Structure 1
Amino acid sequence: MPFTTHGHGGVRIAADRHGDPDARAVVFLHGGGQTRRSWGRAAGAVAERGWQAVTVDLRGHGESDWAADGDYRVASFAADVREILEQLPPDPVLVGASLGGLTSMLLAGELCRGIASAVVLVDIVPDMDPSGAERIHAFMADKMVDGFGSLDEVADMIAQFNPHRPRPTDLDGLRKNLRRRGGRWYWHWDPRFIDGTAAHPPLEVEDTDRLHAAVAAILADAVPVLLVRGQVSDLVSRDRADAFLVRFPQVEFVDVEGAGHMVAGDRNDLFADAVLAFLDRHRPPGD
């Protein structure tokens, strides 16, 4: 069921609710350039297990408003999510991929400590691989201005970026990530988010000390944390995942076989199983 709220600065935020609205919530936050639709199957699996699953379009993405003032700070994404959480039962779980994971770190570890009962970081650590980050940035920037002449062009570009994922035969699913304008297809997100023209860009992604401090604070509050890595990810190499786990030995870890950076899209079955097992381990008796 769709619902909306207004986040930081009045930006309208779109979200979907799956399952029992009175049940404790698992809130899914997508990565940069994605939408809440990327969580569909995982959210459905969580809702079937008795949780309320909430998927959110971050500001500047999907059906949420673009920030009129160009405010795309990670702290502002986090402030938007806080507004969503105020409409949900207490003690939600945050599941954040990439940008959504960084947002979860700052929200639960700095801006509103204690707001989450557990945190799942999906293929993201503070000290990410710069070459992988540059590759993702280049993918998002390519065709950002010119757009695509057809959905086939979009599918070809995605297949080149994710060679381990089969090219879709049904292209209708791509429409949810695109906007149609002047006979061409364009990515659904605000170009200012990626092209450096935003008045307030997400500079926190480069502040590894701040992000590490946020993770440390989450763990100091005895909040369980799970890192789910795509085994062939180029953003979170195994070495960088290992360094994160050495720094924070309390963090649980799952390496998803056959998945790249888009873990939920690449291997939703294994991803959903890992998240559900983590939720079961940390679900209070009688919940």
Structure 2
Amino acid sequence: MAPSTSQPFSVSSGSLTLRGDHWPGTGDARDVTPALLLHGGGQTRHSWDRTAAALAARGRDVYTLDLRGHGDSQWAPDGDYGMDAFVADLRTVLTDRARRPVIIGASLGGITGLCTLGEDPDLAAALVMVDVVVNVEQKGIDRIKAFMTDHIDGFANLDEVADAVAAYNPERKRPKNLEGLKKNVRLHDDGRWYWHWDPAFITSGQGDEPRRHTDPARLAAAARNVTAPTLVVRGGKSDVVSDAGIENMRELVPHAEIADVSDAGHMVAGDDNEVFAAAIVEFLDRHGL
């Protein structure tokens, strides 16, 4: 089968326009549950491109979405990047779909999916949380925060961008062709490259950023209400999800399944997409989705 190519779509959520890509499934996708892929904080929908193409090639309609303030979605004029805002956006996207999708969310995307289904368990057919749990490891969250805030003032060139990514994830091979980085940064009028997300995402709000997105009390309450099939995909080398965090998820969501991608860190799909995609397909096939 020929590989699927994406088509842009947009959804209005309040005063904001959210943008994403639709990857039409090959064959008769009407018989397969669609998937909605949500990226992590500071990423864009393009972090899912390889996974989306792989799932679409297996006959599944796939949607990748830029969260508010990220990628090509609009920035919040009031700087509202609290969890309530992300949940409201996701509810809008889900109610705009003709069929209930499987939510596959990495980090912030997984948390948003968990909170949304905790409030309305019938909005999605299943939930896949990628390297995120209710009780995340603060040291891992702090390292993500440092990576994001250390480069608020941008980069002189794409080599500096590649160096920053390599420093955060030293086990991932540094790309020789830097053109792919342009999906995550933008060249501004001052001649510097900046991450393609609103700096207010990391600097706004009250309390420890981005801990306000991982409030364990709120997430635990949501987790207890999730009834849909649930899969937690854990990066074996992640510093965000620990053994204790996994055991806590088993207590909160007794029906949750766990998949380990042993050679991956927090950015599971990017680190080992082949194993990651296989784990997703196996889970969905097992549940007839």
| TM-score, normalised with respect to structure 2 | 0.91
Partner of residue 165 from structure 1, selected from 161, 172, 182? 172
Q: Give, in whole Å, the separation in 1 of the partners of 2:158 and 2:242.
A: 31
Partner of residue 9 from structure 2, selected from 3, 17, 32? 3
CA contact (8 A) 2:111 2:214 kept: no
Partner of residue 280 from structure 1, selected from 275, 279, 285? 285
Query: What is the aligned partner in structure 2 of residue 52 from structure 1?
Result: 61
Tell me by how many angstroms 1:282 deviates.
Answer: 1.1
CA contact (8 A) 1:3 1:16 kept: yes
* Shift in CA distance, 126/51, structure 1 to aligned 2, threshold 3 Å: same
CA contact (8 A) 1:82 1:107 kept: yes
CA contact (8 A) 1:72 1:202 kept: no
Tell me by how many angstroms 1:89 deviates.
Answer: 2.6
Q: Does 1:261 align with 2:271?
A: no
Q: Give, in whole Å, the separation in 2 of the partners of 1:47 and 1:75.
A: 30
CA contact (8 A) 2:105 2:128 kept: yes
Query: What is the aligned partner in structure 2 of residue 148 from structure 1?
Result: 155
Letter in 2 for 1:108: L
**1:100-179 map, 5 Å:** 100-110=109-119, 112-144=120-152, 146-179=153-186
SS at match of 1:165: coil
1:89-140, Cα deviation, whole Å (9 max, x unpaired): 3221000110001100111111x33101100000001110001100000000
Partner of residue 67 from structure 1, selected from 76, 100, 105? 76
1:142-167, Cα deviation, whole Å (9 max, x unpaired): 111x2100100110111011011111
Query: What is the aligned partner in structure 2 of residue 218 from structure 1?
Result: 226
Q: Does 1:17 align with 2:22?
A: yes
Q: Does 1:236 align with 2:241?
A: yes
SS at match of 1:138: helix
CA contact (8 A) 1:73 1:202 kept: no
How much identity, in percent, do the aligned residues show? 47
* Shift in CA distance, 19/94, structure 1 to aligned 2, threshold 3 Å: same
Paired residue total: 277
Q: Give, in whole Å, the separation in 2 of the partners of 1:240 and 1:126.
A: 7
Query: What is the aligned partner in structure 1 of residue 3 from structure 2?
Result: none
1:53-105, Cα deviation, whole Å (9 max, x unpaired): 00000000000000001111112112212222233232210001100011001
Q: Give, in whole Å, the separation in 1 of the partners of 2:214 and 2:98.
A: 33
SS at match of 2:139: helix
Letter in 2 for 1:214: A
| TM-score, normalised with respect to structure 1 | 0.92
CA contact (8 A) 1:149 1:184 kept: yes
